[in-house]
Structure 1
Amino acid sequence: MSHGKWTISDSDDDDEALPSSGTPAVSNPSSRQSVPPLRPKLEPVTIPVEVKPEPVNTPVSSLAIGSEARQLAAKNQLNPVKYESSPSLAGKRKKEVSDGSGWALSDSDDDDGDVKRKSVGNLPKKAPPSPKAKKVKVENERPPSPHGRLYYIDEPEDFFESSVPHLNDTFRFYLNKVTGLDRKYNTGALHIRDILSPLFGTLKESVQFNYCFDIPWMVQQYPSEFRDHPVLIVHGDKREAKARLLQQAKPFPHVRFCQAKLDIAFGTHHTKMMLLWYEEGFRVIIMTSNLIRADWYQKTQGMWMSPLFPRLPEGSSASAGESPTFFKRDLLEYLASYRAPELEEWIQRIKEHDLSETRVYLVGSTPGRYVGPDMERWGHLRLRKLLYDHTDPIPGEEKWPVIGQFSSIGSLGLDKTKWLAGEFQRTMTTLGKSSHRSDPPIHLLYPSVEDVRTSLEGYPAGGSLPYSIQTAQKQLWLHSYFHRWKANATGRSHAMPHIKTYMRASPDFTRLAWFLVTSSNLSKAAWGALEKNNTQVMVRSYELGVLFVPSAFNMESFPVHNNPFLVSSSSGFPVPFDLPPTRYSPKDQPWIWNIPYSQAPDTHGNIWVPS
């Protein structure tokens, strides 16, 4: 296995400091306007919608789509490496990997010498070479699945048939549908075909912002009556990747492209958003899913779906249609940051609609170096400003833990003080204008090797969890924060997360001080990092999320619903994993995508051999 230069993938970025030259710092804050009160809106009547299932066979085109980790997962699924339990092979594995951990420190990382000399528990000296393994075809007989007999069966024709969730839901936060789970665990969840269904509006045009696209698959998700309507793709691909993307779209003349400017090294266009323009109005979807089948199949994803925003009366003022959360202003500011002519008509359309029903705050990141007031426009400093302005201090808040949950991890520094326990923790622990700087527990949820091995997808699920050995071995200190991915209450423990959420919970985990769903993984590229003695912040990537704070919902805190997606009328907040979090045991290791796992088969009887 090669441990050479690792390909940047899906916001798992190398955040090593670069020279401060390059993109100039920005300082031209937008004007702030007054806000009108909320007004109730009528929603379309919802009726059952039938969505046909996807074909089970992964299209060949998926082998060239996405990061290196995702491409490896696709190849693994099409041509898996079977687990062999013969005594000779088992003995060889045991000799090579005496403790079964499968990854270790590299002796070439001189900058981490102090860390390497410490005891690191059950980590072996080096990652093992790939075992002798037999390539087999997918059609071979599979072992019994621990997830039940329906796990390997193609989803039935009526799998996606459901009643669309009521659009007057309190929080408008939904999970995606997952195949292979009991139908009850998809209650209130959405598939992409639900979102694009005519039940939500008569679609005229749409924009798809994302990191990873399968254009033919995406086009098929639109209902037949909307399938040839104009679609604008906003992406960050360059050179060969851009050429492949354009090639995919050749059969679809209604698909156009807008390339996001990525002027800072190691940045990605990671935002995942839909803008949907209907005959009846306009809607925004901010989500965590890429536009590829794998992300809508057996992964846990999240999304916020806006109300249907009606068109403003002719002659309305420029400040009309604003929400108490200034969502309209912030969305327009985010779109303007692309400096893209292709988005100008959409900026104008949004200005002509009434977004006053919105109760969430927009938290975005755009590439650049920012100084002065502009430091609080993007990234974690934007979140810090919102928490300062719109939350209140809580008695005993030093005991209210911060919970971060993500699917990828960047390089955070040689110790926790470099970023995580410094500027990032200060943001996450901000509650109102209190001068008290609390130091509560921080729980970081990231799947362990065992979580991935026993998942619905098995080891290929790890292709969407691109934490590399090169990064992991430099920050062993981080792993003491790790907790398992568990979601028994939602029935989704075995659907690996691609969702990213951050929140502040009460000590008994029954209430939330705030909740954020976002595209931002745990990386400085996504959230930004302070520079020049804290007088400048540098952000590498485009990211987008929405923040829920109790004051916007006339609450003091959010109650946590223990079984959120089985009762759609609940006023509790639908946290998508189990609380309290479960800390890693001494035997648990975080999933690392680019090393082999051959000690035990996954749910498909296969092992993981990067090559």
Structure 2
Amino acid sequence: MNIGNNIDASSQKPIKRARYDYEDIEVISDSSVDSSLTDVEINKINPIETPIYLNKLRFEKNSPEGLSFRSFFVVCNNVLADNSLWRVKNILFSSYITEIEWVIDEVKGSVPKNGNIESILFISHYSEELKKYKLDHDNNKWVKDVSIFFPDQKVPYGVYHPKFMLIIFEDSAQCKKSFIRFIITSANLTQSDWELKSQSIWVQDFFQCDKYISCEFIEYLHTFLQNILGGCSLEKFWINKIQKFDFEDSTVKLIASVPGYFIGREINMWGHLRVRTLMKKANINAHNDSDSHNKENDIIVSQFSSIGRISEKWLYYELMSSLSSTPNPKIEIIFPTIEQVNFSIEGIEGGVSLPVKREYISKPWIKKLLHRWEAVNINEIGTGMKAIPHNKTLLRYKVHNDVIEIIWVIQGSHNLSNAAWGQLQKGGSQYCIRNFELGIFLHKNQFKFVRCHKFEHEEYPMFVWKRRKNCNSHVETNSKGSNHLLSVPLPFTLPPKRYANNDNPWNMELLI
């Protein structure tokens, strides 16, 4: 699937991109997995495509797999933007940090020259610079209105951290025909985040429906938007708009955090207790932990760009108890070493995106869990692997018969902190969350979807997914078989390599 824009990298040396699909995943044996592993053979694995991607780095000139920021404003790759019947009409951007001039320029360079966007809404953590922004209408007549909104934090010491986009496309020939593109990512709305750092992306297109179709996905999204848009002039517009689309074939479950003190049934709506609820509903833990073999070989990976002041008790008795029914599950924390940051594309300045305090990351009990975010020598890898990882990933995997199988994956904006995931208080009767966050949850046993597309000469949105039973006969699909091995692109190798004795985790004090 050729998605994304070609970036002029003529001044850069050709880079061979490391791939992380099951066809060629590198499996390395080390002390963290007591198994004699070999490389996974191509003919044994036929992975199922998922709507999860990595971003296209500036230096990856010949890599079609990654998604550039501009790719989200293109309906499909076989029709030039100026020839497209589809027009972007409304956009909602959400980010912790926003370089608004860069975003406006990227959108302007992506949409048709005769396009006319009705509104762009930026939702962001509070910024004086962003508050002062005024659109230059003389040079941006292609967009009618640009507005900025800062959600109320409600709880002290929290941040607005979700990173997502909602883009509404309308058919210029049939104004009542439209679809919405929903993107959830780990990337801020900044050029360096999208071009120089590794990021995770989930994206899916949803068509307009004739009448409101209720499902868990839309109800949850509706509640989340109500929480972040309260007091915004466009709150009613976006709440009403999303109800005009059919989300029944959503490929993932949403996991959000909103700040507040919750009691009663509300505590299961957000953060890690939302994850616990999803696990129980799907009976996932009972399935995965049904025998000692699975308990011995299933491992939980936590990879993030920041860590809060967490305790061992919170990690195991709250977060991990929501992720697994196994007491004291095996945990592998993936975080860059000082050496890896120094040798990254951005050098030590790239460490700004890894704001971890030394006292938090260097606790003895945490250091025992640390693994490198790649499994080969830093000087032997391609440029793509030298990008600072800004992804935030929780996943469960197991190794069986020399094959790595991902059981489930959580990606989005949540870092490893109780501010993001929540913390139980007052003996478990109260639940406190400080941050706004948004992520996705995908489990292999619940993933029964295929990506749909029509013939090459037709202009059809490229991120449409349907349940297998809902795929019409006239629609081609990408079905690759009935196995349950998911293809989830990752910026690190599984199993990860444990820190060596001379490895030390990156910390923000090194920037001083």
Gaps of 5+ in 1: 1-45, 57-147, 152-168, 431-436, 556-567, 596-608
Q: TM-score, normalised by structure 2?
A: 0.74
The residue matched to 1:281 in structure 2 has which SS?
A: strand
Cα distance in 2 between the residues matched to 1:358 and 1:444: 29
- Superposed, 1:271-310 pairs within 5 Å as 271-279=162-170, 280-307=178-205, 309-310=206-207
Query: Partner of 2:22 in structure 1?
Result: none
Q: Which amino acid aligns with 1:547?
A: F
Cα deviation, residue 275, structure 1? 0.7
| CA–CA separation in structure 2 for the residues paired with 1:360 and 1:519 | 15
CA distance in 2, matches of 1:55, 1:490: 17
| Structure 1 partner of 2:365 | 477
Match of 2:36 in 1: none
1:236–1:261 contact (8 Å) kept in structure 2: no
* Structure 1 residues 487 and 213: CA distance shift in structure 2, 3 A: farther
Q: Does 1:445 align with 2:334?
A: yes
3-state SS, counterpart of residue 408 of structure 2:
strand
Aligned residue runs from structure 1 range 589-604, under 5 A: 589-595=504-510
C-alpha contact (below 8 Å) 1:312/1:321 kept by paired residues: no
- Among 60, 64, 75, the alignment partner of 1:187 is 64
SS at match of 2:239: helix
Aligned to 1:376: 268
Query: Residue 301 of structure 2: SS of its match in structure 1?
Result: strand
Shift of 1:268: 0.6
User: Structure 2 vs 1, CA of residues 347 and 470 (structure 1 numbering), >3 Å: closer, same or farther?
Assistant: same
- Counterpart of 2:258 in structure 1 is 366
CA distance in 2, matches of 1:574, 1:533: 38
Name the CA distance, whole Å, in 1 between partners of 2:97 and 2:9.
19
Q: Distance in 1 between matches of 2:479 and 2:246?
A: 26
Q: Which of 411, 427, 436 is the equivalent residue of 2:322?
A: 427
* SS of match in other structure, 2:428: coil
CA distance in 2, matches of 1:297, 1:350: 30
SS of 1:493's partner is helix
1:584 deviation in Å?
Answer: 0.5
Which residue in the other structure is 1:231 paired with? 120
Instruction: Map 1:327-476; keep pairs closer than 5 Å.
Output: 327-338=217-228, 339-341=230-232, 342-390=234-282, 391=284, 392-394=286-288, 395-396=291-292, 397-399=294-296, 400-413=298-311, 416-417=312-313, 419-430=314-325, 437-472=326-361, 475-476=363-364
Is 1:486 the counterpart of 2:359? The answer is no
The percentage of counterpart residues that share the same residue type is 27
Measured after TM superposition, the shift of residue 176 of structure 1 is 0.3
| Contact map agreement 2:184 2:201 (CA 8 A) in 1 | yes
Contact 1:216 1:249 in 2 (8 A): no
Counterpart amino acid of 2:224? Y
CA deviation after TM superposition for structure 1 residue 300, in Å: 0.7
For residues 236-275 of structure 1, what are the structure 2 equivalents within 5 Å?
236-237=125-126, 241=127, 243-251=128-136, 254-275=145-166
Rounded Cα–Cα distance in structure 1 between residues aligned with 2:89 and 2:319: 41
User: In 1, Cα distance between the equivalents of 2:358 and 2:74?
Assistant: 42
Shift, 1:424, TM fit: 1.1
Amino acid at match of 2:201: M
Cα 1:373/1:460, change in 2 over 3 Å: same
Q: Which has the higher strand share?
A: 2
> What does residue 498 of structure 2 align with?
583
Give the C-alpha shift of residue 266 in structure 1: 1.4
Distance 1:310 1:482, change over 3 A: same
Q: Letter of the aligned partner of 1:424 in structure 2?
A: L
Match of 2:486 in 1: 572
Distance 1:583 1:542 in 2: 32
Residues of 2 paired with 1:340 and 1:171: CA distance? 36
Superposition TM-score, scaled by structure 1 size: 0.63
Deviation at 1:321, TM superposition (A): 5.4
- Structure of higher CA gyration radius: 1
The alignment covers a number of residue pairs equal to 408
CA distance in 2 between counterparts of 1:230 and 1:47 reads 29
Deviations 1:91-147 (A, max 9, x none): xxxxxxxxxxxxxxxxxxxxxxxxxxxxxxxxxxxxxxxxxxxxxxxxxxxxxxxxx
SS, match of residue 589 in structure 1: coil
Report if aligned partners of 1:216, 1:248 keep a CA contact under 8 Å in 2. no
Please, what is the CA RMSD of the aligned residues? Answer: 2.7
The amino acid that maps onto 2:155 is: I
